[in-house]
Amino acid sequence: MLGFVARRLLYLVPVLVAVSLLTFLIASLLPGDLAYVILGDQATPEKVAALRHDLGLDQPVWWRYLSWLGHVLEGDFGRSFRTGQTVLQAVAERLPVSLELMFFAEIAGLAIGVPVAIACAVRSGSAFDRFMTGSAFGMLSVPTFLSAILLIYLFAVELRWLPATGYVPFAEDPVANLRFMVLPALTLALAEWPGIMRVLRSDMIATLQEDYIALAKAKGLKASRILFVHALKPSSLTLITVTGINIGRLIGGALIVETIFALPGIGRLLVGAIYTRDLIILQGVVLFVAGGFVVMNFVVDMLYAVLDPRIRHGHA
Amino acid sequence: MATLELGIDEQVAAGPAGRTRRLGPLFWAAVGWTVFILAAAALASLLPLPSPTDMDMLERRAPMSLQHWLGTDGLGRDELARLIHGARISLTVGLCAPVIGVAIGGALGMLAGYFRGRFETLVVGSMDVLLAFPPLILALAVTAYLGQSLLNLTCILGVLGIPAFMRVARAATLTLSRREFVIAAQALGATHVRILLRELLPNVFLPLLAFFLLGVAVTIVVEGALSFLGLGVPPPISSWGSMIGEGRESLEIAPRLAFIPAIAMFLTVLSFNLIGDTLRALTDPRQGAL
């Protein structure tokens, strides 16, 4: 087990290096000189040359990469030339918002997906099962920004129950904070539950045919206990896997949702950096998100190895 | 790992094995809608439609009428014409990008699955790096630097699809390479090129095609998301995503401006998903089709 972790950790290093290299190359090889972005199109060539020298842009690419990587490893991701904020400050400020959003989205997704999956698995093949499976398939075809608009239209424009956009920190006013979170989290949850439901449903159908479920029934255990304790437990592994697979989609979805609902999270920071051509922030945030994503995937892989899948159904 | 949001093995056959699959009316409805929207997009310039860019400030947000079947948008442009011309953009990107993905990814996957060894390690490793980026983030970052254009957008989304196609092609090739007909061809002295093209390609083709259709659905969604954020195709051109984005501004006055392109997009994505999923179920060896 330790050897396995060590091997995976060793594998993580080249991936992270390659990710940093790709992030850097996207930022430096593609057109759009940082000096021109800072000084504007009207700048004189002398000024541009001077600034390029100050920023180290006249050095060879590999040297710039190594020095950038060195700074990053020391925890210095750079500083926005527009706001003067460091990348780390900006990320630290925005990260809690994104994490809160993703947390609530995942909770809501599970809250919808798990009961539906169980209900479908119990009566697999029934009209209810077919209807919900069909709806889940249909929901997979609804892009996040569509459900966002639909929810805004329903709950903010027509019913006027919830605010459409805005944000208040949780520490300032918890109730208002949660009210602002409902629609964004629900939007993401609408995209999350079909995946959860589909995988869990097929998993449960297989589990419910196991001998030990028949035994539990024969013992006269309550149906709810059998379903939620005996049948759901072996599927927890599947749930972890689905959650892991969905992280990438969740990050992308959070980016769109934050922009639509004006939540000051990482996604909006990134989109804002693109609109204002704040290349340093862009580069730093992309590296941060991709790095975090790689580490998250690693953690999910580890969890998966810990809960060995072969013990699940005994015949996999 | 998260690929372009495509689930590979989500379904376990719930029905009794060996039951012949009928395609069903839903499948044919999906095919019908796809053909209809493709035809409308292809023939957009031949159809008797007003220009999608002509503005009429006196008729802003006009309701549906005989003159404007779906009404007009916030700048008085004909909504139906914009919808059909928008379909052109969405479908062009949606179809061309997966072609890039399936060509490069499919070739890499087949070579990796057939030759194995160092080459396979290299290909799988580099795909892992590409997969290390959340797809939408990478697409956004690259468009931001490269600049917004139809070509750039198509290429980026195409490259993003490569790992997923590579995985499908490699997995299929791995199992096929050990089958008798490949071994027989090798024993008969067939060259690698011949085995790859004549023996393996016809068998890898169908799973790739099924995945291609699912890829089209995903690409339309991602393109829509980028255009919705105003980071997709540049402004004078409009795709469904940018139309929805513009419609969102007038959600209180004329919600139809957001919902009409939204419905068109939903139906199209759903259709490609349905067709792709049906094909995949037909070609998936794990479900007893082989």
Average pLDDT, 10 consecutive residues per value, chain B (290 residues): 41 44 80 91 78 69 68 73 86 92 93 89 85 79 78 89 90 87 89 88 88 91 88 79 84 81 91 89 56
**What average pLDDT does the segment A12-39 reach?**
75
Q: Contact, A118 vs A227, CB < 8 A?
A: yes
- Asked whether residue B62 is assigned to any structural domain, the reply reads no
H or E stretch at A100: helix A87-122
Q: Nearest by CB to A248, which of B2, B228, B229?
A: B2
Q: Which pLDDT belongs to residue A31? A: 56
- Asked whether residue A117 is assigned to any structural domain, the reply reads yes
**What average pLDDT does the segment A16-31 reach?**
78
- State which residues form the domain around B273: 79-284
Q: Which pLDDT belongs to residue A29? A: 63
The per-residue pLDDT of chain A, averaged, comes to 81
ipTM for the complex shown: 0.80
**Is residue A225 scored above 90 in pLDDT?**
no
- What tens digit of pLDDT does each residue of A104-131 get? 998 999 899 988 998 898 888 888 998 9
- Asked whether residue B17 is assigned to any structural domain, the reply reads no
Give chain A positions within 8 Å (CB) of B126. 18
Q: Nearest by CB to B137, which of A142, A149, A270?
A: A270
Q: Contact, A268 vs A94, CB < 8 A?
A: yes
Kindly state the tokens that stand for B98.
Answer: 């997966």
CATH number of the structural domain spanning residue B138: 1.10.3720.10
**Is residue A196 scored above 80 in pLDDT?**
yes
A89 touches chain B (CB under 8 A): no
Question: Which residue did the predictor score with more confidence, B229 or A241?
Answer: B229
Partner B, chain A 203-262, Cβ-Cβ below 8 Å: 203, 205-206, 245-249, 251-252, 255-256, 259-260
- State which residues form the domain around A228: 94-279
- Asked whether residue B41 is assigned to any structural domain, the reply reads no
A282 touches chain B (CB under 8 A): yes
- Asked whether residue A74 is assigned to any structural domain, the reply reads no
**Is residue A316 scored above 50 in pLDDT?**
no
Confidence of residue A83 (pLDDT cuts 50, 70, 90): confident
Q: How far apart are CA B172 and CA B206, in angstroms?
A: 10
- Asked whether residue B65 is assigned to any structural domain, the reply reads no
Kindly state the tokens that stand for A40.
Answer: 């504007």
Contact A152 B273 (CB under 8 A): no
Contact A145 B241 (CB under 8 A): yes
Q: Nearest by CB to A143, which of B145, B224, B259?
A: B224
B58 touches chain A (CB under 8 A): no
Backbone angles phi and psi of B72, in degrees to 5: -125, 165
Contact A32 B270 (CB under 8 A): no
Kindly state the tokens that stand for A313.
Answer: 């159904």
Angle between helix A279-306 and helix B135-146 axes, rounded to 10 deg: 160
Contact B270 A271 (CB under 8 A): no
CATH number of the structural domain spanning residue A178: 1.10.3720.10
- Asked whether residue B143 is assigned to any structural domain, the reply reads yes
Percent of chain A beyond pLDDT 90?
5
**What average pLDDT does the segment A62-67 reach?**
84
Q: Which pLDDT belongs to residue A288? A: 86
Q: Nearest by CB to B251, which of A125, A157, A247?
A: A157
Task: Return the residue matching tokens 């949001």.
Answer: B5
A97 touches chain B (CB under 8 A): no
Q: Which pLDDT belongs to residue A85? A: 83
B39 touches chain A (CB under 8 A): no
- What tens digit of pLDDT does each residue of A267-314 get? 888 888 888 877 788 888 888 888 888 888 788 777 766 665 553 444
Q: Which pLDDT belongs to residue A168? A: 80
B249 touches chain A (CB under 8 A): no
Q: Which pLDDT belongs to residue A53? A: 74
Contact B225 A256 (CB under 8 A): yes
B17 touches chain A (CB under 8 A): no
Partner A, chain B 96-125, Cβ-Cβ below 8 Å: 125
DSSP B172-200: HHHHHHTSHHHHHHHHTT--HHHIIIIII
Most confident listed range (A67-71, A237-241, B58-62): A67-71
Q: Work out how many domains chain B is built from and give that number.
A: 1
Q: Chain A: residue nearest B271 by CA? A: A141
Partner A, chain B 170-189, Cβ-Cβ below 8 Å: none
Q: Work out how many domains chain A is built from and give that number.
A: 1
Q: Nearest by CB to B273, which of A140, A150, A251?
A: A140
- Asked whether residue B6 is assigned to any structural domain, the reply reads no
Q: Which pLDDT belongs to residue A108? A: 92
